[in-house]
Structure 1
Amino acid sequence: MGALPRETVVDVLEQRLRERILAGRHPAGSYLPPERELADEFGVNRTTLKHAFGRLVHAGLLETRHGVGTRVRDFLRLGGADLLPMLVRHSPDWIGEIFEVRHSIGALIAERAASRATEAQVAELRRLVAAVAEAKGGEDAQLADAEVHRALARATGNRVYVLLTNTLFNAYLPVRSALVGPFEDARAAHDRLAPVVEAVAARDESAARTAAGAYLSATERIMLEGLADTGRGQGGQR
């Protein structure tokens, strides 16, 4: 295994500023204190501060105007779904809202796939869902399951569904280990997902939507239980 990357001063400063912004300490539309003041507060030089600002500008949390200052961007009004991993990392409360979208989008994707999938895509779906049952361990099954959903999105023929699916998976990344519950038993994970694939293969749009809804509800329940257990465990360690 390679050495783990070490946090730099810029990494730490970026994290602290990001947490302040997301916690509302610096509200949307407000200007951050002058650079010299912030640099003194954090014990860094202004070059380091500018590097951290640059990352937060790229992330969509700040905007800098020459000669005016650095302002907190109204990311809830102007931001995109690419902010979700950062927001989940800040507060797992976002997961509940992500699950709501996951359920509605996932069911619609299955329905669309049932009406549009080619024979080659159906064959790919069956191969990928079989790989879920053969996975060794929860993490491998979780990744194999994700590939089935990516293939379902591709089978719709709509690239926006593919990007939305990727966005939702990316949003899970900060808490992925707490969401592994539905996949610890690879055979059970396969059996929950296989009816979706078979309904798509049968070109039955209604059955595909129903099967996807059942899959999404069942896995959501197990995932939320895992998150609750993780939260209780962390609370007990404090």
Structure 2
Amino acid sequence: METLPRETIVDVLENKLREEILTGSHPAGSYLPPERELADGYGVTRTTLKHAFGRLVQSGLLETRHGVGTRVRDFVRLGGADLLPMLVRHSPEWMGEIFEVRRSVGALIAERAAMKATAEQRQELRALLAAVREAESGGDVQLADIEVHRALARATGNRVYTLLTNTLFNAYLPMRQHLVGPFLDPDEAHGRLEPVVSAVGAGDAKAAHEAADAYLASTERIMLDGLGIA
């Protein structure tokens, strides 16, 4: 049996401050009150507060200047895609925007993969596609499907596409259990993805783009329905 994690006071304070930042209680660009005032207000020690600040600085929500204070970072303007998993956990509404990027980037990746894939990469894609049908649970099918997309990105020969693919998957993995709808039936999941792999295998860039767009659009609708997002 897996031991459940125990929240520390630093965890609780970090979550509280993060929620206040993301909901605008502490607006971007504003300075937080002095540490002593904040610590007293939350009923914690300054050491606990400093630990929570350190985590939020590392996550990109705060920036601290010695002798000046701690300011809320304008994370939407200055932040990177590494913030997406945290933002999705805060508000599933981010998923709609993530899926918009997923669809446009995914179709382009399939097109480039059809143009660039080696014989070995095409063989790998067929093997990974077969693993989608062989997976047993919805979660396993979902993970097998992800590996096909990672392989498509690698087949473009452009490592940035691979990193973008990983970033998008990392963004919605925190919500993965709510996005399993398209993967509950292994045969159906295989059937949706097969035209993409076949077009890439045939080196048909136009067909690969169209097949990927159709796949991404259909799975997006199912997943957003699962989240209750129109």
Give CA-to-partner distance per residue, 1:61-97, whole Å, 9 cap, x none: 0000011110000111110000001111111111000
1:56 equivalent to 2:51? Answer no
Q: Which residue does the alignment assign to 2:191? A: 191
Q: State the alpha-carbon separation in 2 of the partners of residues 122 and 8 from structure 1.
A: 48
Give CA-to-partner distance per residue, 1:154-178, whole Å, 9 cap, x none: 0000000000000000110221111
1:6 equivalent to 2:1? Answer no
Q: State the alpha-carbon separation in 2 of the partners of residues 2 and 172 from structure 1.
A: 23
Q: State the alpha-carbon separation in 2 of the partners of residues 7 and 120 from structure 1.
A: 47
Unaligned runs of 5+ in 1: 232-238
Matched to 1:111, the amino acid is: E
Matched to 1:109, the amino acid is: I
Give CA-to-partner distance per residue, 1:106-158, whole Å, 9 cap, x none: 00000000000001100000000100001111000000000000000000000
Unaligned runs of 5+ in 2: none
Matched to 1:194, the amino acid is: E
Q: Which residue does the alignment assign to 1:235? A: none
Matched to 2:102, the amino acid is: R
The Cα shift of 1:42 comes to 1.3
Matched to 2:212, the amino acid is: A
Q: State the alpha-carbon separation in 1 of the partners of residues 105 and 81 from structure 2.
A: 14
Q: Which residue does the alignment assign to 1:236? A: none
SS at match of 1:64: strand
Matches within 5 A, 1:1-238: 1-228=1-228
Matched to 1:187, the amino acid is: D
SS at match of 2:208: helix
TM-score (norm 1): 0.95
Q: State the alpha-carbon separation in 1 of the partners of residues 189 and 138 from structure 2.
A: 9
**How many equivalent pairs are there?**
230
User: Bigger shift: 98-107 or 38-47?
Assistant: 38-47
Q: State the alpha-carbon separation in 2 of the partners of residues 93 and 66 from structure 1.
A: 36
SS at match of 1:188: helix
The Cα shift of 1:2 comes to 3.1
Matched to 1:116, the amino acid is: K
SS at match of 1:70: strand
Q: State the alpha-carbon separation in 1 of the partners of residues 188 and 37 from structure 2.
A: 56
The Cα shift of 1:8 comes to 1.1
Q: State the alpha-carbon separation in 1 of the partners of residues 145 and 174 from structure 2.
A: 18
SS at match of 2:67: coil
TM-score (norm 2): 0.98
Q: State the alpha-carbon separation in 2 of the partners of residues 15 and 174 from structure 1.
A: 16
Q: State the alpha-carbon separation in 1 of the partners of residues 64 and 75 from structure 2.
A: 14
The Cα shift of 1:31 comes to 0.2
SS at match of 2:228: helix
Q: State the alpha-carbon separation in 2 of the partners of residues 142 and 174 from structure 1.
A: 13
Q: State the alpha-carbon separation in 1 of the partners of residues 93 and 108 from structure 2.
A: 24
